[in-house]
């Protein structure tokens, strides 16, 4: 059966984006967007780690939901840009500038001492300078008001920073490269067994004091040992630049296939798309004028605020949104309600949503069968399907198979990309990409080469380094596909690349130095609940709303966001650790995570051969995934999308599946009762659920910042 869109509808889709934003004088990018986008990116980079390490409140950059990016975007649309609009005349601009100067001088001159590391001081400084810049622009006949294209660019930058500032990089790497010295002891035997396999190139931070000042804080008269950090961070900068460059390049290469040919829905972009499309000539965005949105907004704000107030005073009742139910045998079901997850999942295709929760339930049966049959493994999986390593191999095999099939389906497009890159297809148009295909392919090949060479220089066998880098990128691409198509805001692979290579191939092939180096890759390839490739793909979906001639500037903005996100978050975490002591900050990042990596290295460094049972399940999972994808394409009666199979057994789904199930039920009911028209009208309510949850987190973090309250974590999914 031939499946294709009608020609007329294809024309409508092709022209829709241009129709949305094609308004005279608005399709342009000016330096003001880099001022606003650069500051908000920096603010997210420092405020997100500050909130979960000092305030210890809700995470704002934990998963692909990127709550910090959404909250700051709402702040930009609902306050900052409105302020720019209201002060677009000379008298109003002058009043704002003078008022900002007086308020800033009074508060930091008389009320409170300025703390250059405090997010509040940094934000106030931004408002002050913005008022002065705005006044100067008004005098020359210009304005600070951001147009739709500029708003999209700011949001893309915030997405990129979200993938770096906490879970994605900064809170992983700084503790990981120092913890082995601080926590080494005669009991854990790290010094005796792991230290001999360190590379001659310094990629770990040894300050001569075993990292004591980093983990316990500086004493009076002590200074930060900057010299000890220089060489390790330089080595890691080379690797990470290659990694993120490769991720951006892959995003560019697959963009047209996923967005224009397969038309993946990208549910996680719906909030930003709706808000941007509501930005018109009025001072208040149309998105904020919808009653249904505010109805949805109020639900998470109410339940979350009750929980926050309960931590201030026990007289306020706290209503739990988490329950557990016995299923059968030793299996239980976690029933957790996340308003944001319900909101995102409402935009998932019904067959895909059904596949997600159905495969999760089926995985419970499979786990119980494993227990009954006594199918056990001596291997230990932490990230992914913990407790059931064979199922982890199975899920990973299914994920790799899904990616390879996707590459095969898009083979004509990818062939055109590489032909264009090598000058053999001049008719292929890449003018609407953020990078020419020649650059993208060069960045991909160069990035893979640099990463493999880096691992080889550290002592990893060359062929192992190449296999590992390619497998890691395939896993990243698979999860990115799930985020783009299934819209899961919280997901990770069933098995991570370091474990797959080390445990699957065995130490005898990988080598002990290879085991150690791939264990260090836990920094960027283990607890990957958010990463650059997926957030970049969401960003490339958003730039469909921009004129093609402006898209080349997006690459510069992405580079700027990468540097701001990494350097800003490094600066904040570095400062917090030496001021307060890492052991007093976040225990998982400063102790738990590094211990997992080093203990796994200790366990896996023992001689071991190829793990054939695991590779058997890996192959079986891949073959089963191929069969289900074939059935979905060929059998009209096939009930569900198999995209849930690679991740169904993953521990992340325990706290997500019920929200997906609820959204699926709501969507089915609404479509049955009111059809497509009611479904479209109801979308504002579910977008309100998302905005309400992230706003509840953001508002209470601000309240806790001023009151000094610690540990007031509300929504973290």
**Mapping DSSP to helix (H, G, I), strand (E, B) and coil, where does residue 635 land?**
coil
406-425 per-position pLDDT tens digit: 999 999 999 999 999 999 98
Could you tell me the pLDDT band of residue 111, with boundaries at 50, 70 and 90? Answer: confident
How far, in Å, are 356, 409, 539, 629 from residue 633 at the CA level? 18, 12, 29, 6
Mean of the per-residue pLDDT values for the chain?
92
Distance (Å, rounded) from C-alpha 405 to C-alpha 402? 5
What pLDDT score was predicted for residue 244? 97
**DSSP characters over 328-395:** ETTEEEEEE--HHHHHHHTTS-HHHHHHHHHHHHHHHHHHHHHHHHT---S----SBSTT-HHHHHHH
Q: Is residue 587 part of a domain?
A: yes
Q: How many domains does the chain have?
A: 1
| Residue 511 within any structural domain of the chain | yes
Query: Averaged over 699-712, what is the pLDDT?
Result: 94
**CB burial class (10 A; 0-12, 13-18, 19+) of residue 120?**
middle
CA 93 to chain centre: 37
How far, in Å, CA of 500 to CA of 266, rounded? 29
Please report, rounded to a whole number, the percentage of residues in the chain having pLDDT higher than 90.
84
Q: Does 1 have pLDDT greater than 50?
A: no
* CA terminus-to-terminus distance, the chain: 40
pLDDT of 112 reads: 84
Residue 292, exposed/middle/buried by CB under 10 A (0-12, 13-18, 19+)? middle
pLDDT at 558 over 60: yes
**Amino acid 508: pLDDT:** 95
Q: How confident is the model at residue 386 (pLDDT cuts 50, 70, 90)?
A: confident
> Is 632 a member of any domain?
yes
pLDDT for the residue 17: 44
What pLDDT does 242 receive? 97
Q: Lowest mean pLDDT: which of 149-158, 275-284, 290-299?
A: 275-284
Average pLDDT, stretch 607-634? 95
| Closest to 179 measured CA to CA, from 201, 200, 207, 199 | 207
Q: Is residue 624 part of a domain?
A: yes
- In a domain, residue 498? The reply is yes
186 in a domain, yes or no?
Answer: yes
**pLDDT tens-digit readout, 190-200:** 999 999 999 99
Region 225-237: mean pLDDT is 95
Write out pLDDT tens, residues 623-642: 999 999 999 988 888 888 99
pLDDT tens per residue, range 334-372 = 999 999 999 999 999 999 999 999 999 999 999 999 999
The average pLDDT across 96-114 equals 91
Residue at 654 is within a domain? yes
What pLDDT does 19 receive?
Answer: 41
What per-residue confidence (pLDDT) applies to 145?
93
| Other beta carbons less than 10 A from residue 284's beta carbon | 14
Residues of the chain with pLDDT > 70, as a percent, come to 96
Task: Assign 549 a pLDDT band (cuts: 50, 70, 90).
Answer: confident
- Residue 221: is its pLDDT beyond 90? no
**Confidence label for 375 from pLDDT (cuts 50, 70 and 90):** confident
Q: What is the predicted pLDDT for the residue at 548?
A: 87
Q: Could you tell me if residue 255 is inside a domain?
A: yes
Residue 378: predicted pLDDT: 86
- Per-residue pLDDT averaged across 667-691, rounded? 95
Q: Which domain holds residue 282?
A: 170-707
Stretch 122-127: mean pLDDT, rounded?
Answer: 95
Handedness of CA 127, 131, 132, 134 (dihedral sign): positive
How many Cα atoms are found within 13 Å in the side-chain-facing hemisphere of 74?
22
Instruction: Answer for the pair 494, 399: CB distance below 8 angstroms, yes or no.
Output: yes
pTM: 0.94
pLDDT (0 to 100) of residue 395: 96
């Amino acid at each position: 059966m031939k499946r294709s869109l009608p020609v007329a509808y294809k024309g409508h889709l092709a022209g829709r984006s241009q129709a949305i934003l094609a308004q005279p004088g608005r399709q342009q990018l000016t330096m003001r967007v880099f001022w606003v986008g650069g500051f908000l990116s920096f603010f997210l980079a420092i405020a997100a780690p500050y909130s979960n390490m000092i305030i210890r409140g809700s995470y704002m950059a934990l998963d692909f939901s990127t709550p910090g990016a959404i909250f700051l975007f709402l702040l930009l649309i609902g306050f900052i840009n409105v302020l720019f609009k209201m002060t677009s005349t000379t008298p109003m601009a002058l009043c704002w500038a003078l008022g900002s100067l007086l308020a800033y001088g009074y508060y930091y001159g008389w009320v409170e001492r300025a703390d250059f590391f405090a997010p509040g001081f940094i934000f106030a400084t931004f408002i002050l300078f913005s008022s002065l810049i705005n006044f100067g622009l008004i005098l020359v006949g210009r304005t600070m008001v951001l147009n739709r294209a500029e708003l999209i660019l700011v949001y893309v930058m915030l997405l990129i920073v979200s993938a770096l500032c906490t879970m994605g990089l900064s809170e992983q790497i700084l503790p990981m490269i120092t913890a082995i010295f601080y926590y080494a002891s005669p009991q854990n035997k790290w010094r005796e067994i792991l230290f001999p396999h360190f590379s001659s190139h310094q990629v770990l931070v040894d300050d001569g004091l075993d990292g004591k000042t980093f983990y316990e804080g500086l004493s009076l008269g002590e200074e930060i040992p900057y010299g000890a950090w220089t060489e390790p961070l330089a080595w890691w900068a080379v690797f990470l630049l290659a990694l993120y460059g490769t991720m951006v390049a892959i995003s560019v290469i697959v963009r047209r296939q996923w967005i224009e040919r397969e038309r993946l829905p990208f549910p996680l972009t719906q909030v930003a798309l709706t808000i941007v499309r509501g930005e018109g000539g009025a001072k208040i965005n149309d998105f904020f004028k919808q009653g249904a949105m505010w109805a949805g907004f109020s639900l998470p704000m109410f339940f979350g605020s009750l929980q926050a107030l309960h931590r201030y005073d026990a007289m306020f009742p706290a209503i739990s949104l988490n329950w557990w139910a016995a299923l059968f045998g030793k299996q239980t079901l976690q029933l957790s309600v996340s308003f944001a997850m319900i909101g995102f999942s409402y935009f998932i295709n019904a067959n895909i949503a059904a596949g997600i929760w159905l495969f999760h339930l089926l995985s419970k049966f499979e786990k119980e069968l494993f227990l009954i049959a006594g199918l056990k493994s001596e291997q230990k999986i932490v990230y992914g399907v913990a407790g059931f390593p064979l199922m982890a191999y199975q899920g990973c095999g299914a994920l790799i198979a899904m990616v390879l099939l996707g590459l095969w389906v898009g083979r004509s497009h990818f062939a055109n990309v590489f032909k264009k890159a090598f000058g053999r297809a001049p008719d292929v148009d890449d003018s609407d990409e953020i990078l020419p295909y020649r650059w993208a392919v060069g960045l991909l090949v160069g990035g893979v080469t640099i990463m493999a060479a880096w691992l080889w220089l550290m002592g990893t066998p060359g062929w192992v380094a190449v296999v590992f880098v390619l497998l890691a990128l395939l896993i990243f691409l698979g999860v990115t596909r799930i985020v783009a198509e299934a819209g899961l805001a919280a997901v990770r692979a069933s098995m991570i690349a370091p474990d797959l290579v080390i445990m699957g191939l065995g130490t005898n092939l990988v080598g002990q130095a290879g085991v150690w180096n791939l264990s260090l890759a836990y920094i960027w390839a283990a607890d990957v609940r958010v990463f650059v490739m997926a957030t970049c793909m969401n960003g490339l979906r958003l730039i469909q709303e921009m004129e093609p001639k402006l898209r080349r500037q997006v690459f510069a903005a992405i580079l700027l966001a990468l540097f701001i996100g990494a350097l800003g978050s490094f600066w904040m975490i570095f400062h917090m650790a030496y001021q307060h002591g890492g052991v007093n900050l976040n225990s998982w990042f400063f102790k738990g995570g590094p211990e997992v990596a080093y203990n796994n290295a200790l366990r896996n460094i023992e001689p071991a051969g190829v793990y054939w049972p695991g590779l058997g399940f890996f192959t079986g999972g891949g073959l089963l995934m191929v069969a289900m994808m074939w059935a979905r394409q060929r059998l009209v009666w096939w009930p569900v999308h198999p995209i849930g199979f690679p991740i169904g057994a993953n521990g992340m789904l325990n706290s997500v599946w019920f929200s997906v199930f609820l959204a699926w039920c709501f969507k089915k009911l609404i479509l049955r009762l009111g059809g497509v028209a009611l479904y479209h009208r109801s979308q504002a309510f579910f977008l309100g659920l998302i905005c309400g949850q992230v706003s509840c987190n953001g508002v209470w973090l601000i309240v806790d910042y001023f009151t000094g309250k610690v540990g007031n974590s509300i929504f973290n999914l």
